[in-house]
Amino acid sequence: MIELEQVSYGYGDTTLLSDISLQLAPGSFHFLTGPSGAGKTTLIKLCYGALIATKGRVSLFDRDAQQMSRDDVAKARRRIGVVHQDCQFLDHLSVAENVSLPLTVSGRSLADPSELDDLLAWVGLSTQRDAKPPQLSGGERQRAALARAVVMSPDVILADEPTGNVDWEMSLRLLTLLVELNRMGKTVLIATHDMNLIRSAKAQVQARVLRISNKNVHQAGADL
C-alpha cells in the first residue's frame, strides 16, 4: 500500500532521515514515536508524497512517488486521509464545508447527503456544522480534521500528533475513533510522543510501535 525502501531525506548538508524501510500493509495499525524533531512529521509527509525522498524509493499504492506527476500524487492523496497537529482548515468555510472539501476537490458527492451529518455526529460535531474553524476548540478541530480525513473513505489514515493539543479524555476519544476505523479495514499510522496513548491503544488493537532514533526507524521494545 505505502512502502518506503531505504529512504533518506535531507536538505543541504543536513540529513533528517537515513536509510529507512517501512511497509504499511492493508489493515495494519502503526504508532510512530520518538522525541520532538526526530523526523516523525517528515516521515509522514514522505508517506503521502508531500516530500520527495532524496534517496531510496517511496511507493504509493505500488507506484514510485518520485515518478508520479503532481496530479497523480493528488489522486493518490484521495486514498490517504491526513490529520495534522495544526489541522490546516480553510478558515472562511464552515466545518461541514471543510469536512467535505476532499469530495469537493475531486468532483464527488456523498451518495446520501445525510452521510455528512452522520459523519459529523460520529466525531461529535453535529452542533458545530456551520461554525467556522477559528470558533472551534482544539479538540473539536482535531475531530473535524479526522472527519475530513475519512470522508472519502480512504485506504490509509496518517495522523501526525492528533492528540497534541487536547486533554487526555479527548485523546482517548480520538484514539477510539481511529481504532474504529482500523476495525473497518483502514490502515492507520499515528505519530505521537504520548506513551500513555500508545499503551491505551495496545489494549484495544494489535498495533506495531516504531521509534525514530538516529535518523532511522526501529521496532520499539516491549517496555511500552
Interface region with another protein, contact rule CB under 8 A, candidates 10-18, 53-61, 69-77, 135-143: 69-77
Per-state percent for the chain, helix, strand, coil, to nearest 5: 35, 25, 40
| CA atoms of 202 and 195, how far apart (whole Å) | 11
- Whole-angstrom Cα distance, residue 30 to residue 157? 10
Please report, as residue ranges, which positions from 171 to 210 form the binding site for another protein (by CB under 8 A): none
Is 11 near another protein (CB under 8 A)?
Answer: no
Write the single-letter amino acid at 182: N
3-state secondary structure of 165: coil
Contact pick of 6, 21, 23, 88 for another protein (by CB under 8 A): 88
Residue 195's nearest CA partner among 10, 31, 14 is: 31
Q: Kindly tell me which residue out of 102, 128, 147, 162 binds another protein, with binding defined by CB under 8 A.
A: 102
The smaller minimum CB distance to another protein, of residues 102 and 139, is found at 102
Q: Give the separation between CA 77 and CA 57, rounded to whole angstroms.
A: 17
String marking each residue 123-152 x if it binds another protein according to CB under 8 A: -------------------------x---x
Shortest Cβ 31–another protein spacing (Å): 22
Residue 93 within binding range of another protein, rule CB under 8 A: yes
Cα separation, 224 vs 120, in Å, equals 33
**Contact 154/81 with Cβ under 8 angstroms?**
yes
Q: Which residue of 21, 106, 114, 213 would you call a contact of another protein, by CB under 8 A?
A: 106
Report, in Å, the least distance between residue 58 CB and another protein. 12
Which residues lie near another protein (CB under 8 A)?
49-52, 70-71, 73-78, 82, 84, 88-90, 92-93, 97, 101-102, 104-106, 148, 152
